[in-house]
Each structure stands twice: as C-alpha cells, then as structure tokens.
Amino acid sequence: MEPHIAQKAPYAVEVEAGKSYFWCACGESKKQPFCDGTHKGGDFKPVKWEAAESKTVHFCGCKHSANQPLCDGTHKRL
C-alpha cells in the first residue's frame, strides 16, 4: 500500500531539543506533518523522531523519503 502524498515539498518545522515528534507516515493526517491518529486500523504507523537540538528541520511531505521522517528530495521525482 502506498502512502497518500500530503504535499510535494517538505514541511519546515522549528523543533525543540529533547522533544519527541510523531511524523505521519500515511499522509492522511489533518495535522501534517504529524500524526493525528487517522492511520488507525490501517497499514501505517507514525515514526517517532527525537530532536537532538533546537533548530529547523524539514519533515518529508510526500511520504516517500528513504530518510523518513526527514526529507531527502524524493518529492522532486514524483
């Protein structure tokens, strides 16, 4: 099963050091790029990611990155 492409660009997010984030893997969440539980009962599970430092990171929006949950540029080839 393929994930839904939420958008063909990354989501730039300011993250806080030590905080955990749960990235939406299915692409159906209304709180992109993060999970809101929409996947329940399906094949997808959110990906937990912990910020090592406070900075801007780019979470994958197309849901096809090989470096999930972060963008690796795959959206440019979709």
Could you report the per-residue pLDDT of 39-54, keeping only the tens digit for each?
Answer: 998 899 999 999 999 9
Cβ–Cβ under 8 Å, residues 62 and 75: yes
* pLDDT, tens digit, 9 for 90 and up, residues 13-27: 999 999 999 999 999
And the tokens for 58?
């780019």
Q: What is the pTM of this model?
A: 0.94
What is the 3-class SS of 22-53, one letter each residue? EECCCCCCCCCCECCCCCCCCCCCCEEEECCC
Tokens 């929409």 belong to which residue?
A: 38
DSSP 3-state of 15: strand
Dihedral sign of CA atoms 34, 36, 37, 43 in order:
negative
